[in-house]
Amino acid sequence: MTGENECYYPYRRKEECSWHPEEVSRKLSELLSIAKSRLIHYREKNANTGSADYFALKKLEQDLSNVHLLSRGWSTQQAHLLRLVFGKNEVCSEDEDGKTGLQCCNFIAIPQIKWIKRLVPSFYPIFGAFTSQFNEPLNLMLLASAIISLILKQTSDAISIGLALTIVSLVAAVQEYRSEAALEKLSDLVPHVCTVMRDGQVRDHYPAKDLVLGDSIVLSTGDRVPADCRLVDTIELCVDESSLTGENKPISKIGSGLPMFSSVHDDPPLTDQRNIAFMGTLVCSGRGRAIVIAVGNETEFGKVAKELGKVESRKSPLQLKIDELGKALAFMSTIVIAIMALLGFLLGRPFLETVTVAVSLAVAAIPEGLPICVTVTLALGVLRMARSNAIVKKLTSVETLGCATIVASDKTGTLTQNEMTARSVYTLAYPSTTFGLTGVGYDPRNGVLVRSSGQNGDIDKISNSSHPKEQIVSESSAEFSAIKALFHVACLCNNANISQSDDRDLSVTCSGQPTELALIVGSLKSKIPDPRPQYHRIQEIPFTSDRKRMEVRARPANGKHSCSAFRIASERHATDNKTTDGSLYFVKGMPEAVLGESSTHITADGSASPLTDQGKKWVLSQSRRMASSGLRVLAMAYGPTLDQLTFAGVVGMEDPPREGVAEAVHHLHQSGVTVLMVTGDSKETALAIGKRCGIIGPRQCAMEMQHDSDVIQTFPCSHNPFDDVEFGGGLALSGEQLDAIQPPKLAEAIIGVKIFYRVAPRHKLALVRAYQSQGEVVAMTGDGVNDAIALKAADIGVAMGKEGTDVAKEAADIVLADDNFATIVKAVAGGKGIFFNIRNFLSFQLSTSFAALSMECIATIIGLPSPLNAMQILWINIIMDGPPAQSLGVEPVDERVLKAKPRKSTDPLLTRALLLRAISSAALIVIVTLGVFARELDGGIITQRDTTMTFMTFVNCDLFNAYACRSSERCFYEINVFENPAFVYAVGGSIIGQLAVIYFWPLQKIFQTEALSVWDLLYVLLLSSSVLILDTLRKTFFYHWFSDSNALCPLFSSRQKLKNESLTMTDDSDNSFYQDVQDTSQTKSNNSKLRSRLIHI
């Protein structure tokens, strides 16, 4: 790898693959001396610059020793120097390719270069777009008209046409630049982060673009590899390289060195580099540490990305529809204009005037800016949604958002807060006692471990009230030994970390999964220190959705176990098998999975006793009781082998619903969207959270829990999960039940089901396909690696931005930056709003085009002179394609539109109602404008006053029409004038421009206008305001004919019904909701029997 201008990286890939792990750190530490020599060379070359930035560079020569990459990583100063010399971890454009950091950084740029760089980002793209406008046939025809005028010595006309052409082209260029700039911003909405060692500390969420050569990083399940890295140690690490190599199976990675490849010049193939993790690939499972060996353009991904950058992105279906509509309108308009021009010439109009007016009318009437307007509206809508934490990765997803009929949401972290707190503890060593933990959050100083007698444990009382000293479990308590063993298993089978700062506020720093953090905090609250520093981890088998457990094998570092229970188990195994290793397996997972692998359970003194069926029954009963209170339950076990596990106990953790989730679910129900919960938790937990979130009603949940209470009391070890079909299976189905249903029957079997529990990622995919086969548009949420397939298969894949893995984010269409379910509601509303806004400004543009064409056509047919000259027609085109039209794209959408049921993806963009609105508005504009023109016309001789009054009337009608097009539902007096500031500014600017055209004498000569009196303005204003009267009549008395909502939602049958609905929406929705509950309860038995028959089939 050799960069230009002496920026030399000394190692080849074949050498990097052959290094042993200890060599990797030593070899890459030498990069610092190379960077230092580059810095000295630069200092000698630029010694006389005298810049402040140059003197700041001298500080980088300090602290270039004491490099320990694996234990401490680079220091901030060392990383800064390497970044300057070798560049950032970014794929540069072609014109920046090969430049080192010293060449690209700002401190070597002379002031003039800085000034040019500040100007170029906006000037150069606009100038390029401006010149490209002259490739358009219509603009070339207009330019030809100006040249002909100049040849005929009509200089004023030539200047006017040239100026108008410049304005039109400039407006189009600015719009095109805004579109591209907005689209470029979309790629920066999801910044890629990683875990890096910097200044001796592990830094989570570190920007991947700031990585440098030699950085030590940590890779975990779900991460996207941030740069090309040499692995130094791995634990069951598998990487999906399909995006780079095409391999359809994850590749197992190793940290050891590979034999030196025989080829002298060529690097080994990518598939043979098993100890290299490539930038952009995805970690499927396991963990590992690695050191960065290539960044930016020098990575394998960077080399491919430069080639991909030359490929144009595909247009969305909506953009293709707009293009087809624009072409159809252009074709029809061209025919009409050609006929009209021919007719005008035959009637004796001057040839040049006829050609100029015809070309100008073509420029104004043909909506050539419509595709750009749609793209800008979509892009700005996406950016606006991003400010609400809904990051839409592709414009195509915006169209689908408004069509979603089902939202299938994960529970943890989406519906809930994803801040787990250990609440309840149970162990068979004390079967009649339930232990509880007080306090909330991840601060271990805010709670203690208490005992509570009784079966239920009164979890709420444990967490929310103070307790007598005798109820607190301390180190001197008899129960402490068994509790200590339970939490030591929870800590040893754990990858989370908690540390307290040394500053005055004693803040707590956390990293890791919320469930594992809750277990560590629970241990610290119980006054049980983390035992991991005393152990050496030998093996880790990560948690998977299929196995539902995690195993860790570890041995004590000093030969002594941290608690008596572990020591007894180790000594017993050593006696039986003559081994002295002392290592044990520590297991954490779902109660059913862990109980199935356990043969004994811990007792009060730490010894092991056989685990009986009655003991399993007690554990499962307590687990279901915790789950019925909304707790997530994990079981712990330990043993010398995975076949000889000792059951330690269970811990129940609370993850309460997020604030605002219930309201969000209610809003989705109102708008006709069905909300489902798809979770890996137990049925009881899912039902409890579903009830609190409003996914199922109180009566439904009560019916479910009534059946479940009977099941809990008599829960046998041989319980058949299929029996749950007869106990409320109409609302909830398990993953095991889904497996038992044949795929062709699945769509029919899930009718009416609201909650799917104990599901694996394959079940999510099956559910997506089943609902899609029924014609539903499915939005599926997910955050894990295995969720990626379902996210990609769903119509709208939604990934979590905070806790979601990079794999899920790559597969998703939308990323929730705050992991909040309520954000999905905003995204769906935004998708509906954008589509309706596109229809509104399409109605405005079509009415303007129809009016301009019709007015000129009628004037030609009846033998009148042209009401408007070429310059005035071009000015109207600026208003039609310019800011007023654009501002309609960011209009806040009517609440009633957002509550309408989802539209079908096959619904046409150009509806009958839209056409009727455009035609009726155009007809009125033509009548009013031609009426003014005929009134002002004196003896068939046209004057500047005639065209000025006509011009002013048409523009005012157009602006009033733009105001009416802000909503297809509300009358003009129901619209808040200042609700859309962009529209206010756009119309205000248009009015100022129009007045300048009328009263500013240089523009008067160009547009051939003259000043009007105040009475003239009032007269024009009064006549043009009739557009608002027409709009009120349409929306009040002819709602069925002119409203799109009538087709979208049957609830909108009349305007009066809309008004009544706005007043009684809450009561009606509640009543209808509970009516649905009653209907569901009546049909529940039938659905349950149907599912039961399907399962047995």
3-class secondary-structure state, position 142: helix
CA dist 298 and 74 (Å) reads: 20
Count of C-beta atoms within a 10 Å radius of residue 259: 7
Q: Which of 215, 228, 240, 410 is catalytic?
A: 410
CA dist 412 and 855 (Å) reads: 62
Question: Considering just the CA atoms, what is the radius of gyration of the chain in Å?
Answer: 36
Q: How far is CA 424 from the centre of its chain?
A: 35
* Structure-derived torsion over alpha carbons of residues 285, 287, 290, 295, reported in degrees to the nearest 10: 40
Phi, psi of 935 (to 5 degrees): -70, -40
Q: How far is CA 404 from the centre of its chain?
A: 16
CA dist 602 and 584 (Å) reads: 15
1076 is catalytic: no
Q: Which two tokens stand for residue 842?
A: 């399409």
C-alpha distances in Å from residue 196, one per residue of 222, 686, 740: 16, 37, 45
Nearest to 341 by CA among 875, 855, 860: 860
CA dist 26 and 36 (Å) reads: 17
Please tell me the total number of residues recorded for the chain in this structure: 1097
* Residue 844 and residue 966 in contact, taking contact as beta carbons nearer than 8 Å: no
Angle between helices 155-186 and 111-132 in degrees, nearest 10 = 110
CA dist 1087 and 1097 (Å) reads: 15
C-alpha distances in Å from residue 113, one per residue of 52, 84, 92, 109: 17, 19, 19, 6
Q: Which residues pair with 34 in a beta bridge?
A: none
CA dist 882 and 888 (Å) reads: 11
Q: Running DSSP on this structure, what letter comes out for residue 816?
A: E
578 phi-psi bin (left φ>0, alpha ψ -120 to 50, beta other): left
Burial class (CB in 10 A: 0-12, 13-18, 19+), 643: exposed
Q: Which two tokens stand for residue 836?
A: 């309706």
Nearest to 1009 by CA among 833, 801, 803, 869: 869
* Structure-derived torsion over alpha carbons of residues 765, 769, 771, 772, reported in degrees to the nearest 10: 130
Q: Which residues are catalytic?
A: 410
